[in-house]
Chains A and B, each alone.
Chain A
Amino acid sequence: MNAWTMLLATDAPALPSGWVMQMGLQLSWSVVLAWLGALLVRRWTVNKPVQAGVALTLAAWAWLPGAYSASYWLGLAFQTPSVTAVLVCAALLRDQWVRPSQRLLHGAPAGLAWALAVLGTILGWALLLDTLALLPLQWYAWGFSPAASVLVMLVALLPWVWFRVAPGGAVVPWLVPVAVVVFVTLRLPSGNVWDAVLDPWLWLVMQGGLLRRLYICYKLRSLKRNKSAV
């Protein structure tokens, strides 16, 4: 077998072990729930201990045994969120409490977040169309190959290469590279790199963000046109 064949091979996937999958499921939903709780409660109170209490309670809920656990029901419906989604939630939680002056996108080069959102949206569409067998390529199956992990890592590092993001600056450029490192180390969540970097919920959020930005751009352009007409 030559090196190229080995790189593209999808017939020797390395899958996570059972206990790693279970830990990954509970930890992932724990982080996501904590962020969702913190996000919701922030609308009702500025009391930090209350916010933290709600977030911690929801995080702990994911670790209860069996059907008492939130992750039991969320896993039933959605399996395990992507590593990227978990890292995004963790970064948002950090922004809220540890570095409240900063935000996820603070310090990121202009347009970087949107470039990532466009890439993620395209990738999600490719995976969805592949799921429905509407592509000639078997895109999801290719996510079991070593080449897919390397390609994702290379593409994910391009923003750092191009924009020279300073250490300690924006978190966004590092989310996908860290997700790939977690993936190759633990194979979470499923042994397929696409599941590690993008899940359908994250994809929907990205699309929502893109559509919102497009709408704002359209409105601003309309305003400018109206002003110049006056």
Chain B
Amino acid sequence: MLLPHIFSSLYGRLLCAVLASGVILGLDLWRREASPPPAHAVWPVLAGAQKTAPLQLLDSGNIPMPSGMAAAHASTLLALPLSHPAALMAFWFSGDRESAPNVQIAASQWDRASQQWSAASYVVNRQVFGSQMGFGLRRLGNPVAWLDGSGRVHLFVVATGWGGWAASRILHLRQISSANSVQELVFEPVRVLPLSWLWNTSILVRNAPLPLDDGGMVLPVHFELGIKYPIALRFDKEGTFQGVVRMSARPYLLQPTLLMQSTQEWLALMRDDRPNGKVGVARTVDGGLHWADLPDLALDNPDAAVAGFNLAPGRMLLVHNSSIATRATLDLSQSMDGRNWPLVRTLEQGAGEDEFSYPAMAWADGELWVSYTVDRHRIAWQRFALGTAPAGVTP
């Protein structure tokens, strides 16, 4: 008898609405984990004299391609722990051509014992994962790999919906096999990351994540439907999604690569979509909670991906296409302050329509590895060791 009385009064109904909202809040909070602590990036392991040592090219070559496939693009490198028989894994997409129906994610690993790349294997097939998730993946694109706190490989793969690259989503996969080799690597789909209200479309991933001291990471991604802008995603040590932050207000910057200047002060260097563009920069000083645009670098950018890497505190590396109109030149530059980037060496110098693009870097077994696409047909690599710094010389 009391309820009808309460419902007949405006204030009674208002009280009921507030109580119902309180129940919703309780249910909502019950389903959530606690907020993560502020993000602190992990300093690179190099220290002392190594911080200033020059890079010396050890060797170079091509990663084996899957047989019969004409196209290869967008490689990513994953350094593996010392307990693993391989020093690093490379993932890229391969098929008859870019965006072909038969494009899959291929992988190879650098074996520590034989000092060779293994034969390429396919590890992600769009039909298989589409069936597992219950909805289709039209095409596959850029992969990015990450090793979680339990030693499992996570792959973040561009997977398109109905349309071209602008209809992309990010498919999150997690290793379920216990095997060590890429031939036996098996993934399960975690989810398509929920990043946009507009049918969750037009978010792509390209560059490697920034590792955090809690075992988690920050994954740089970008939006590219008409306008472009960079986004940072945070994950915990198990690879659980922990939120999204827009990194720039400029509508022409994409494919951010993250570099740290201190544990909470990071830079994002970005590809510029405009003609005659320069490498764009954004910065955070609070571990990725807020980002602010900085003036462009002096480095030209021919609308091409860049890859950054923290070699040591105060020693950042950047692989980038340095000519204004083509991707025929691929340079390795380094910086102490993030603004001035003197050239270390030219990695590739082509002519005309040659293309050396989409670089990636990793540090494994005391060596720097660089991989990149050559003419969209193969993935090349170079390996550097740290030499002895001449007395009195700083990098």
Binding site for B on A (CB under 8 A): 1, 5-7, 9-15, 18, 21-22, 25-26, 65-67, 69, 71-79, 127-128, 130-133, 138, 140-141, 143-144, 146, 149-150, 153-154, 157-158, 160-162, 164, 177, 180-181, 184-185, 187, 190-192, 194-195, 198-200
Contact = CB atoms under 8 A, between A and B. Distances in A.
Interface string B32-53: 1111100000000000000000
Given A1-B34, A128-B198, A144-B244, 14 more contacts: A10-B244, A15-B194, A25-B134, A67-B127, A72-B135, A74-B135, A75-B134, A76-B137, A76-B162, A130-B197, A131-B196, A133-B249, A141-B243, A150-B28
A152 B3 CA distance: 24
B209 interface: no
A184 B162 contact: no
B31 A76 contact: no
B20 interface: yes
Given A133-B227, A154-B21, A71 B135 contact: yes
Nearest to B203: A131
A158 B136 CA distance: 39
Interface stretch (B67-75, B142-150, B184-192, B357-365): B184-192
A133 B246 contact: yes
B134 A69 contact: yes
Contacts of B241: 13, 15
Contacts of B246: 133, 138, 141
Contact of A184 (B24, B229, B249): B24
A154 to B, nearest CB: 5
B33 A12 contact: yes
A192 B28 CA distance: 11
B24 A195 contact: no
Contacts of A143: 197
A215 to B, nearest CB: 27
B10 interface: yes
B13 A11 contact: no
A13 B244 CA distance: 10
A78 B192 CA distance: 12
B194 A195 contact: yes
B32 A146 contact: yes
- 3 closest Cβ pairs, A-B complex: A75-B135, A76-B136, A190-B194
A187 B243 contact: no
What range describes how many residues of B lie at the interface?
35 or more
Interface in B133-186: 133-138, 161-162
B294 to A, nearest CB: 18
Chain B interface helix/strand/loop/mixed: mixed
B342 interface: no
A195 to B, nearest CB: 7
Interface of B: 7-8, 10, 13-14, 16-18, 20-21, 24-25, 27-29, 31-36, 127, 130-131, 133-138, 161-162, 189-192, 194-200, 223, 225-227, 229, 234, 241-246, 249, 251
Contact of A18 (B31, B189, B225): B189
A189 B28 CA distance: 15
Given A14-B32, A161-B13, A187-B31, A200 B135 contact: no
A160 B131 CA distance: 43
A67 B36 contact: no
A22 B243 CA distance: 22
Nearest to A189: B194
Contact of A157 (B17, B191, B192): B17
Given A18-B190, A141-B243, A132 B226 contact: yes
A11 B17 CA distance: 27
Contact of B194 (A18, A127, A192): A192
B13 to A, nearest CB: 4
B8 A190 contact: no
A1 B200 contact: no
B25 A79 contact: no
